[in-house]
Structure 1
Amino acid sequence: MHKPNEIRMLALGLIRDGERIFLSQGYDPHKQETFYRAMGGGIDFGETSLTALQREFQEEIQAELTNIHYLGCIESIFTYNCLPGHEIIQLYQCDFVDPKFYQLEKIVFAEGKRQKTALWVDISRFKSGELKLVPEQFLGFL
């Protein structure tokens, strides 16, 4: 999680399979709201965003990435569980090396002490407003 008054640097991977996208599911207890975000994580000091992206996918779901292309930078200022947050996101489009990841319905993994779920979601569910994708600028890349 982020420290107060700190801008977090993230590397996230956009993985598409036809009309579905691979995302991590989150929940804001204060807003009582489920949301979805591309997988990835924090960039460590001295590490490139590309290296961070590959490391995070390896650590979280033991997945290797291929066909990695830089899409752009997103700045996100938000509130999560009553706390202000500020993130600079380096966004990459990529694919899984192992085809098994395209067959899985969902993957449960640990992020620190928290248990998280990653799953395939139909893009139309975000475009219709049924589900919430964060940050919202992410929709522009779909």
Structure 2
Amino acid sequence: MTSPRIRPLALCIFHHDGKILVNEAHDPITGKPFFRPIGGGIEFGETSAQAVIREVDEELGLSVTDVRLLGTLESLFTYAGKPGHEIVQVYDAKFVDASVYGRSQLNAQESDGAAFIARWLQLDSITGDTPLVPAGLYELLKKVALLD
């Protein structure tokens, strides 16, 4: 049994025309849906900015530019019946290939090979029933005026 640990995470906010790119997922125990931006764990020896670039390439097969740190969040949550704790570096970036912004969704893949669909989400789709995670992300995006 491994002891609980704090996971360092880097997420990237891609925004266009009042929408952000997210993965819709569901907690396997509760079945509750949530939205999360593209990104993942920071590996030993890489910066969080390098992690964002790597994660976007791994998940979407796309290159990014203009990577910029927006802020840091601390996330305490329960997923699949287990407590989690993450320190999340939140970035803004742009796709090198501008045609990506014209697609309604993108085929993507997790590091374990699981396929998922990333789609552009209208911000008014975010509700208490289908939150944007990690907690505090929506407020951070409003604070840095990214969603205006």
TM-score (norm. length: structure 2): 0.87
- The number of aligned residues is 139
Q: CA deviation at 1:14?
A: 0.8
Distance in 1 between the 2:24 and 2:129 partners?
14
Give 1:55-70 correspondences, 5 Å limit: 55-70=54-69
Which amino acid is the alignment partner of residue 100 of structure 1?
S
Q: Residue 34 and residue 130 in structure 1: after superposition, are their counterparts in 2 closer, same or farther (change >3 A)?
A: closer
Q: Structure 1 stretches of 5 or more lacking a match? A: none
Give 1:89-104 correspondences, 5 Å limit: 89-104=88-103
Distance in 2 between the 1:110 and 1:9 partners?
20
Render the CA deviation track for 1:69-106: whole Å, top value 9, x for unaligned: 11111000100010111111011111111112111111
Look up the match of 1:25.
Answer: 24
Look up the match of 1:114.
Answer: 114
Which amino acid is the alignment partner of residue 101 of structure 2?
Y
Q: CA deviation at 1:136?
A: 2.3
Distance in 1 between the 2:97 and 2:128 partners?
31
Distance in 2 between the 1:44 and 1:96 partners?
22
Look up the match of 2:47.
Answer: 48
Look up the match of 2:85.
Answer: 86
Q: Structure 2 stretches of 5 or more lacking a match? A: 143-148
- Asked whether the 8 Å contact 2:75–2:87 carries over to 1, the reply is yes
Q: Residue 97 and residue 131 in structure 1: after superposition, are their counterparts in 2 closer, same or farther (change >3 A)?
A: same
Higher strand share: 1
Which amino acid is the alignment partner of residue 66 of structure 1?
T
Moved over 4 A (4+): none
Distance in 2 between the 1:4 and 1:102 partners?
41
CA RMSD, Structure 1 to Structure 2 (Å): 1.5
TM-score (norm. length: structure 1): 0.91
Distance in 2 between the 1:15 and 1:93 partners?
6
- Asked whether the 8 Å contact 1:10–1:87 carries over to 2, the reply is yes
